Amino acid sequence: MYAEDEARLLAEVATGESLERLVRRRVGGEPLEHLLGWVQFGGLRLAVGPGVFVPRSRTQVLVDVALEHVSGADAPLVVEVCCGVAPVGSAVLAARPDAVVHAADLDARALVHARTNLGPAAGVWCGDLLRPLPAGLRGRVDVLVANAPYVPTHAIALMPPEARDHEPHHTLDGGSDGADLHRRIAGEAASWLAPDGLVAVETGREQADTTVEALTRAGLETSVRFDDEVDGTAVLARRPR
């Protein structure tokens, strides 16, 4: 986006000295979305703010996979873990208002935005991975989506300053090979899935094999989806019927 476009957007949320302050912060490297208080995700304008991961367009791959998987189901149960501001759950709900959506993250700051984005009907839970989800969902989940942190620790220093300096490391850091959280999700996910239920995990293109291995070890039938349009990669893992 050109600087003039950014200036026009900032002028929509502030005027005078406040606007000048926002422009200075932007020039200092803060993500535009943190300053605006919103991010465009698919057709939605989602709430976001400082100290929180900004959803990327590549995560649309998880939305598409989830919607495809539940296309024939009534009131499907969809869970987003490591949800941040809950872009996937929000997009699923926008397309399928009959869906029952639950979202969880360990970051209470992100969950304030997730609650705004999802609206009052969704379940929003705070805690480690799947642990905070209501026990009654076990064995009933049609789709479990996760864009968990997957940047290898050593690669965080190579990220653009907007991410490296303004998105907390716990939103980026996936451990030495980037797949630490994926292995943990693989270890926990299967028992939450309904028969034929699906796990969809966003990965880097070059990391997909490691995540496939972890989910295959959990007894799930795996495949990989590449979406060149949004530059997204998702590992899919289905519980056999």
The residues that touch ligand SAM, with contacts defined as CB under 6 A, are: 53, 55, 59, 82-85, 87, 105-107, 110, 128-129, 147-149, 170-171, 181
Distance in angstroms (rounded) separating the CA atoms of residues 110 and 151: 19
| Nearest distance in Å: CB 17, ligand SAM | 32
CB closer to ligand SAM, 14 vs 168: 168
H/E stretch holding 66 reads helix 60-69
| Nearest distance in Å: CB 222, ligand SAM | 20
Distance in angstroms (rounded) separating the CA atoms of residues 65 and 205: 16
Place of tokens 């367009």: 57
CB closer to ligand SAM, 23 vs 230: 230
CB closer to ligand SAM, 84 vs 152: 84
| Nearest distance in Å: CB 202, ligand SAM | 7
CB closer to ligand SAM, 15 vs 40: 40
| Nearest distance in Å: CB 134, ligand SAM | 16
CB closer to ligand SAM, 35 vs 81: 81
List beta partners, residue 173: 151
| Nearest distance in Å: CB 65, ligand SAM | 14
Pick the closest to residue 150 from 58, 41, 64 (CA basis).
Answer: 58
CB closer to ligand SAM, 64 vs 107: 107
Work out whether the CA dihedral 16, 20, 21, 25 comes out positive or negative: positive
Q: Is 142 exposed, middle or buried (0-12, 13-18, 19+ CB in 10 A)?
A: buried
Helices (H), 75-223: 87-95, 108-118, 161-166, 180-189, 208-217
| Nearest distance in Å: CB 218, ligand SAM | 17
- What is the distance of C-alpha 173 from the center of its chain? 14
Q: How far are the Cα atoms of 19, 149, 228 from residue 81, in angstroms, in the given order?
A: 35, 11, 24
Tell me the residue nearest to ligand SAM as measured from the CB: 84
